[in-house]
């Protein structure tokens, strides 16, 4: 794909997260949370050779976002962009020293311009680990943009401004409040998830989808769904019902799907 921008979730859940970004013929990842073999298989499933990944941008240092990076970059020599805290977390779980790949430290509000004319913008989140960020990617040739926004804790005013007007977004819709309350998780973990520094619920996500729609976004992927406290059906139904209150219909006014937990999901090209 030349002079284009595409967002493709490779897998997305508390068991592992990675999103492929294609921009003007180049490819890079947001996170790599499953092992190297699984990530390679996911890439090949969407006709991308693992050696074609130029770099990985890391959102934060939780295992479901960084577990596969160590082996992947040693094998395929992709550069790694991350905050200093996230780099430290990756060093803690690394099994071997790697001198073949670049490890580049970014600030929590930094803008990085890649050779493919992709501008990658970071924004800090209140998620419960230091150095956590989300990313917006802009194609400097076409002006189109996409965002990858999960593990949010809450959707802050800064995030609303940051994501305003993106053409497509992978946005967190982690849990159904009733399933979380009545499910297997102990109360301290429930409180961690819903307490403003964990994840956002289906209802919180639905409200943000409407705000994003009002700013011009039309393509939505709901991601990082909990395997224990949510279902694809509940996440989709929640957002669809909320949008319907404003006369907006999926398939007519906007596109909406969920990201698969284990394999690639049909992405959006903008």
Per the structure block, which two tokens stand in for 54?
A: 């130029």
List Cβ neighbours of 167 (8 Å cut-off, separation of 6 or more). Answer: 5, 144, 145, 146, 216, 217, 218, 219, 268, 270
> What are phi and psi for residue 268, nearest 5 degrees?
-125, 130
pLDDT tens for the chain, residues 1 to 270: 467 999 999 999 999 999 999 999 999 999 999 999 999 999 999 999 999 999 999 999 999 999 999 999 999 999 999 999 999 999 998 888 777 679 999 999 999 999 999 999 999 999 989 999 999 999 999 999 999 999 998 999 999 999 999 999 999 999 999 999 999 999 999 999 998 898 999 999 999 999 999 999 999 999 999 999 999 999 999 999 999 999 999 999 999 999 999 999 999 999
Query: Residue 194: CB partners within 8 Å, gap ≥ 6?
Result: 175, 177, 180, 201
- Taking each helix axis as running N to C, give the angle between helix 36-45 and helix 69-76, from 0 to 180 degrees, rounded to the nearest 10: 60
3-class SS at 113? Answer: strand
Query: Where do the domains of the chain lie, and which CATH numbers do they carry?
Result: 5-264 (3.60.15.10)
- Burial group, residue 249, by CB count within 10 angstroms (0-12, 13-18, 19+): exposed
DSSP helix/strand/coil, 187: helix
Count of beta carbons in the 10 Å neighbourhood of residue 161: 11
């Amino acid at each position: 794909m030349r002079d284009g921008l595409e967002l493709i979730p490779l897998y997305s859940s508390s068991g592992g997260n990675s999103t492929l970004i294609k921009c003007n013929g180049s490819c890079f990842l947001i996170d790599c949370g499953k092992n190297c073999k699984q990530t390679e298989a996911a890439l090949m499933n969407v006709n991308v050779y693992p050696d074609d990944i130029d770099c990985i941008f890391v959102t934060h240092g939780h295992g479901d976002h960084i577990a596969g990076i160590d082996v992947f970059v040693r094998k395929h020599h992709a550069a790694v962009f991350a905050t200093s805290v996230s780099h430290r977390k990756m060093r803690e779980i690394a099994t071997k020293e790697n001198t073949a790949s670049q490890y580049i430290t970014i600030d929590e509000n930094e803008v990085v311009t890649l050779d493919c004319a992709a501008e990658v913008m970071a924004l800090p989140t209140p998620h419960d680990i230091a150095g956590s960020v989300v990313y917006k990617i802009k194609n400097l040739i076409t002006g189109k943009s996409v965002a990858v926004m999960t593990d949010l804790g809450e959707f802050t005013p800064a995030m609303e401004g940051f994501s305003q007007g993106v053409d497509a977004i992978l946005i967190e819709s982690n849990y159904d409040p009733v399933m979380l309350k009545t499910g297997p998780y102990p109360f301290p973990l429930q409180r961690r998830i819903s307490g403003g520094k964990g994840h956002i619920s289906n209802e919180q996500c639905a409200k943000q989808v409407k705000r994003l729609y009002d700013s011009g976004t039309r393509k939505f992927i709901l991601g990082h769904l909990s395997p224990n406290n949510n279902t694809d059906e509940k996440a989709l139904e929640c957002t669809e019902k909320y949008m319907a209150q404003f006369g907006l219909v999926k398939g007519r006014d906007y596109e909406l799907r969920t990201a698969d937990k284990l394999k690639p999901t049909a992405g959006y090209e903008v």
